[in-house]
Amino acid sequence: MAFSRASFGTVLLFVGCCLGQDRVGTDPKVAIPLIQHVLSAAQVSGSLAYSGACDFHNLPQDFPKLRPISHSGKPVEVLRQMFADDPRMRVTQERDGKIRMIETNAPQDLLNVKIRHLTFQAGVMSHGPRMALRAILMTPEVIAFRREHSIGPLAEFTGGGFSVPGDCCSGRSVMGELDDVTVAQALDYVLQTFPGFWLYETCQDPTGERMAIFKFYANAVLSSVPTQTQR
C-alpha cells in the first residue's frame, strides 16, 4: 500500500551519531518514532531484528543506522531508503502486508523455536502487549532453549527481573490459544491485537554472554511528522 505525500509528509532526519565497535547507529528515540510513522501511515505491521552491541548506556551504538530521507511512496521502499546505510539490513514485505526489517547477521534460532501450545490467559493481569510477550517467553520450549544456549537475560526465565507494565490491568488483551507455532509466529499473533512492530535484538554483553531483547512498539498516531535536527 502506498501513502501520499500529504499523509506521510516529508521526513527529514538529521541525527548525531557516535562511533561504536561495529556500527555507527541512530538514537532509538529518533529512529523508533520514524519507523512507527512509516508503518502507521500505511496501516501495516511488521518486525525489526538486528544484531546490536549490548551497550544500553550508549544507545546510538546499539541501534541500526538510519539515513536522512526526503521521500514518499510504498512503506517498504521508504524503509529501504532509511536503512540504506546499513549493508546488513534487508527490508521485505510479505503477502499479508507485514514488513520485515532483518539484519543478515542476526541469529534467527530463538525466533524459530517451536512452541507446542501457548495460551494467552484472560485476567486482570493480562493486558497489553508486554504481558503477551511474557506469556511467549515463559513457555517451556523457549525457557529450555535459552538455558541450553545460555541466552540471557537470565532473570527473564528464572522468574526474577520482571516488572509489571503499567498497562497490565486495563485496555485490550491478547486472547486465544496457539498450537505448534514458532516464537516469531506467536509475536506476529500479538500484532493482530496491537498493530505496530516487534523488535528483537541479539547481542553479547561485556562478559561474552549472548543476550536477546524483545520489545513491542505500537503504531503511531499520525498527528505530526517526527523530526530531529542536529544542532
Residue 229 belongs to some domain of the structure: no
**Considering the domain boundaries, does residue 226 fall inside one?**
no
**What is the DSSP-derived secondary structure letter of residue 58?**
S
Within-domain flag for 22? yes
Is 97 a member of any domain? Answer: yes
**8 A C-beta contact, residue 118 and residue 188:** no
Sheet with 99-103: strands ordered across: 89-93, 99-103, 46-51, 196-204, 210-218, 151-152
pLDDT tens digits, one per residue of 214-226: 999 999 765 544 5
- For cell 523488535, the residue is 199
- Residue 231 domain-assigned? no
Q: What is the pLDDT of residue 54?
A: 76
Mean pLDDT of 178-186: 98
**Residues with Cβ < 8 Å from 160, sequence gap 6 or more?**
none
Provide the CA 7 distance to its chain's centre, in angstroms: 24
Task: Answer whether residue 189 shows pLDDT above 80.
Answer: yes
Per-residue pLDDT band for 202 (boundaries 50, 70, 90) equals: very high
pLDDT at 8 over 60: no
* 33: containing domain: 5-218
**CA 228 vs CA 6, 60, 113: distances in Å:** 19, 14, 38
pLDDT at 196 over 80: yes
223 belongs to a structural domain: no
- Domains held by the chain: number: 1
pLDDT 10s digits, 9-68:
433 333 333 323 455 678 888 899 999 999 999 999 999 999 988 766 655 557 898 887
pLDDT digits (tens, 9 = 90+) for 135-151: 999 999 999 999 999 99
Report pLDDT digits (tens) over 63-75.
898 887 766 789 9
Q: Is residue 109 part of a domain?
A: yes
Work out the mean pLDDT of the chain and round it to a whole number. Answer: 80
Indicate whether 181 belongs to any domain. yes
CA distance 183 to 88: 22
